[in-house]
Amino acid sequence: MRITKVVPNNRKRAFEVHTRGKLHTLPYAILKPTPTRDNRVVEAQVDEDMGGEGFVYCLSSGEQGAIHIDHVLEYNRDPAYMADLVFYKLTLGAQKAVKESGLGVREIIRRLGTSPAQFYRLLDQTNYTKSMRQLLALLHILNYEIDLVLRTQPAPAPSAKPMS
Question: Does residue 157 lie within any of the structural domains?
Answer: no
Question: Does residue 122 lie within any of the structural domains?
Answer: yes
Total structural domains within the chain = 2
pLDDT score at 155: 66
Domain identity same for 84 and 45: no
Question: Does residue 19 lie within any of the structural domains?
Answer: yes
Domain identity same for 66 and 100: no
Q: Which parts of the chain have pLDDT scores under 70?
A: 155-164
Of 30, 56, 75, the last residue of a domain is 75
Q: Which segments of 52-126 are extended strands (E)?
A: 54-59, 64-68
Domain identity same for 64 and 97: no
Question: How far, in whole angstroms, is CA 36 from its chain's centroid?
Answer: 27
66 touches 47 (CB < 8 A): yes
Domain identity same for 62 and 44: yes
Domain identity same for 69 and 96: no
pLDDT score at 148: 81
Supply the range of the domain harboring residue 102.
Answer: 79-141
Find, among 119, 130, 123, the residue nearest to 95 by Cα. 123
pLDDT score at 112: 93
